[in-house]
Structure 1
């Protein structure tokens, strides 16, 4: 059968494809979401839902937006308390609509895709809560429906991202995740990377998400931040006003040991990050990255100044970034020979909620002054 005819038949199977206006609203909403403009994204996704009252697309993206909002504040104790009930309710609406579609036509790729996407998003929410076994359960449940999607329509390219995420995470993350995945089905890291690459090349709604996922794994898990930078530069070229991409580039430059670039980049853009209402909540993260750039570059007095600002002007003092600013300030003070001040910060960190082993690192700092080698190791640099 000719490829064009196969593609036409696959599209015909999508009995619930959304209207062009809905598609436009979803793409605009995703742009707003990745700019952290949650208010505008909510408005656009809500309008898409109004146009498609029986399709899961509206509630799915509204629930995904709550996940993104939670992911930006998962380091605040109790951050999920106000978001969880809304997420459960809206995701429940998306699932109910997807199941209704599926009951009408089990061979509909669109119905299978949204079932897979919804269960996968529930798994990602549970990952933020570090509930690994339940996350793996929902991840695999979503994987099966996404797998069925591409069996029915191999060109449904957005489905490959969710499959790739499951394959990669279940073969890479901590032992407890792998154990949970082994109870269900173990993923395949290399296959996951191939699936993600396919979405990058051919996806529709999921292209930016695939790029951001690739940036994250290259920088944090594969230890190849230099390969992540070109992806971020391309994203910023396409959306120069997007300050979320700026935050990611700042962290990636540090991981790539481009400290002078991170400093120049950070100082130039700091006023913009602080000025916009939808990026202002993340200024403590931006200051943490900027302070770490100065710390790694050896400009210790300036590093202390930036960490001071991070702590004193943080929009929410409960965030883990504030804890880590205290930790990094203590280490900078150690390198400056200001041991008594450093000990004060280390003690403060031990009394805060533990974020990414912050307490253990602070206890080590109380036992012995930090060294440059130790700091670089903690930042994930060999």
Structure 2
């Protein structure tokens, strides 16, 4: 089963790496639908374009991005074959196109961008399912193509996001590979370029940068970005997780509690909610209450958690089990069991 994780490289940019500066309304529409977990509508939008004859790299890449986000959201691999097929289409067609000698610079950069982004998706997915060597190999290919795209056309601002995230997380997460230089500050600077130039992936760049800044210890800067993403996407579970996580990491318990309560409402309202998300949210909310010395409220949340009729999911959720043990230590096991 794919784990939902919100801090590591490719998940947060699951839509944004291939957002080239285009004027088509369908690009932003597909992004907004996916961010708001309206996966079926996003799929329909893109498959209709394909069925109507759109054979571009862009539409197939965005289709793969929707499938990737959907699988990550639901923590499964049900769409993996369609996902692979869409990415292979982008890679095969794009690399064949790059062999042509008559490509203008803009076309060349755009193609390098999509091919690099497709390899980035493969790296993310392979990392998720434990194929680490393949993930590292394709991650390196992704970075090479994105760097080449920027060298060809330095105004491809969305490429800076993918490359910046790669450089940052490679420096921190792949520490078992020798001789990896510390490129964290360079990665942060590259992502800021995407944000500063107001590209389609501006808010996804903010989302990625939030987790990077938390990892880097810049909590106040991360908090500033959460205000922007929630203002733009107030109904997005995806964005609200980041907002809640900032205050949890800052140990600002009142704000964390308020944010997790808002997240819980969004999950309850979402017809495509992952039931495991509600369990995780309740576990974290109970943890925040207990850390804020509000054990009565923590106990109530634990009772709500135990009444979700998802005991199997609760038992399988390692994070929640750990949080429940910690809440029990703070608030008393006897009280939790009453």
TM-score by structure 2 length? 0.82
Query: Which residue, out of 215, 223, 246, partners 1:229?
Result: 223
Q: Report the CA distance shift for 1:19/1:327 in structure 2 as closer, same or farther (over 3 A).
A: closer
- Could you tell me which runs of 5 or more consecutive residues in structure 1 were left unpaired when the two chains were aligned: 1-16, 343-382
Q: Which residue of 2 aligns with 1:255?
A: 249
Computing the radius of gyration over CA atoms, which structure comes out larger, 1 or 2? Answer: 1
What's the offset of the Cα at 1:27?
A: 0.6
Contact 1:33 1:41 in 2 (8 A): yes
Contact 1:244 1:279 in 2 (8 A): no
Q: Which residue of 1 aligns with 2:3?
A: none
Q: Which residue of 2 aligns with 1:200?
A: 195
Q: How does 1:180-191 map to 2 (within 5 A)?
A: 182=179, 186=181, 188-191=183-186
Deviations along 1:25-72, one digit per CA (max 9) or x if unpaired, are 111110111112211221223344456623111111111222222333
Contact 2:207 2:229 in 1 (8 A): no
What's the offset of the Cα at 1:304?
A: 3.1
Secondary structure, in 3 states, of the residue corresponding to 1:158? Answer: helix
Contact 2:21 2:200 in 1 (8 A): no
For the residues of structure 2 that align with 1:120 and 1:25, how far apart are their CA atoms? 22
Deviations along 1:146-184, one digit per CA (max 9) or x if unpaired, are 1111111111111111211221111111422x44xx5xx
Q: Report the CA distance shift for 1:271/1:244 in structure 2 as closer, same or farther (over 3 A).
A: same
For the residues of structure 2 that align with 1:250 and 1:146, how far apart are their CA atoms? 32
What's the offset of the Cα at 1:88?
A: 1.1
Q: Which residue of 1 aligns with 2:88?
A: 92
Q: Report the CA distance shift for 1:244/1:72 in structure 2 as closer, same or farther (over 3 A).
A: same
Deviations along 1:183-227, one digit per CA (max 9) or x if unpaired, are xx75622221111111111253322221111011122x1133332
Deviations along 1:219-258, one digit per CA (max 9) or x if unpaired, are 2x11333321221111111222323222221222111111
Q: Report the CA distance shift for 1:333/1:19 in structure 2 as closer, same or farther (over 3 A).
A: closer
Most deviating of 250-259 and 185-194: 185-194
Contact 1:113 1:149 in 2 (8 A): yes
Q: Which residue of 2 aligns with 1:349?
A: none
Q: Report the CA distance shift for 1:112/1:315 in structure 2 as closer, same or farther (over 3 A).
A: farther
Q: Which residue of 2 aligns with 1:109?
A: 109
For the residues of structure 1 that align with 2:311 and 2:146, how far apart are their CA atoms? 38
Q: Which residue of 2 aligns with 1:325?
A: 320
Q: Report the CA distance shift for 1:268/1:239 in structure 2 as closer, same or farther (over 3 A).
A: closer
Contact 2:230 2:239 in 1 (8 A): yes
- Could you tell me which runs of 5 or more consecutive residues in structure 2 were left unpaired when the two chains were aligned: 1-19
Aligned length: 313
Q: Report the CA distance shift for 1:31/1:331 in structure 2 as closer, same or farther (over 3 A).
A: same
The one of the two structures with greater contact order (alpha-carbon pairs below 8 A, sep at least 6) is: 2
Q: Report the CA distance shift for 1:313/1:340 in structure 2 as closer, same or farther (over 3 A).
A: closer
What's the offset of the Cα at 1:114?
A: 0.8
Q: Report the CA distance shift for 1:145/1:187 in structure 2 as closer, same or farther (over 3 A).
A: farther
For the residues of structure 2 that align with 1:245 and 1:321, how far apart are their CA atoms? 25
